[in-house]
């Protein structure tokens, strides 16, 4: 499993064809289906046309790059149905949500989302308890089975 923040900025390659596809600009994550739907990459043109790769086409993540399955289709984002709605589901919109237990206790702030590669399934969240607590004891990881709902302003933990 991989942190969303570690995926952002990685170069994307199709190693079979030896082709650099672009750099990850964003991850589109659907909190209802609990999976990453795609990544937005910057194209190689000077116009910086954003392109879409289905997350299911990511084969593995290395130390420096993301590797896609051979022959992965790269689409212009304008070709994707309902792209405006999808772009609102970027992973960056989840950062900073308050994490609350079902009993009403504020646990902290959502710091990052963990995803499985390959596949894009939701694995869990990382919660910041505040600067001092993060420094003294580290951030808390909550597995996907304990995460209830992703709301507009908060995430509920079961």
Q: Which CATH number covers residue 19?
A: 2.30.30.240
Indicate whether 36 and 78 sit together in one domain. yes
Count up the domains in the chain and report the number.
2
Beta bridge partners of 107: none
Domain range for 125: 93-157
pLDDT for 68? 97
pLDDT value, residue 46: 63
| Cα 87 to Cα 47: distance, rounded to the nearest angstrom | 19
Asked if 125 and 151 sit in the same domain, the reply is: yes
Placement of tokens 């954003």 in the chain: 50
Contact 50, 41 (CB under 8 A): yes
Does 12 share its domain with 23? yes
- Asked if 151 and 76 sit in the same domain, the reply is no
**Prediction pTM value:** 0.89
What is the model's pLDDT at position 22?
93
One domain, residues 84 and 117: no
Predicted pLDDT at 88? 87
Structure confidence at residue 113 (pLDDT): 97
Q: Which residues of the chain have pLDDT under 70?
A: 44-48, 134
Give how far Cα 22 sits from Cα of 41, 68, 137, 147, Å.
Answer: 6, 12, 37, 32
Regarding whether 9 and 87 lie in a shared domain, the answer is yes
Answer yes or no: do 35 and 75 share one domain: yes
The pLDDT value given to residue 50: 92
User: What pLDDT is attached to residue 151?
Assistant: 92
């Amino acid at each position: 499993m991989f942190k969303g923040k570690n995926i952002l900025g990685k170069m994307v390659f199709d190693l079979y064809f030896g082709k650099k596809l672009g750099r990850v600009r964003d991850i589109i994550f659907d909190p209802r289906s609990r999976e990453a739907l795609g990544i937005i990459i910057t194209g190689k043109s000077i116009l910086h046309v954003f392109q879409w790769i289905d997350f299911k086409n990511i084969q593995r993540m290395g130390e420096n790059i993301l590797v896609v399955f051979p022959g992965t289709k790269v689409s212009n984002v304008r070709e994707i149905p309902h792209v405006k709605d999808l772009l609102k589901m970027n992973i960056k919109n989840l950062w900073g949500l308050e994490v609350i237990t079902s009993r009403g206790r504020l646990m902290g702030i959502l710091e990052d989302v963990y995803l499985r590669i390959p596949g894009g399934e939701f694995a869990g969240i990382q919660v910041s308890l505040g600067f001092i607590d993060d420094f003294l004891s580290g951030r808390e990881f909550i597995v996907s089975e304990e995460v209830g709902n992703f709301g507009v302003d908060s995430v509920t933990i079961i």
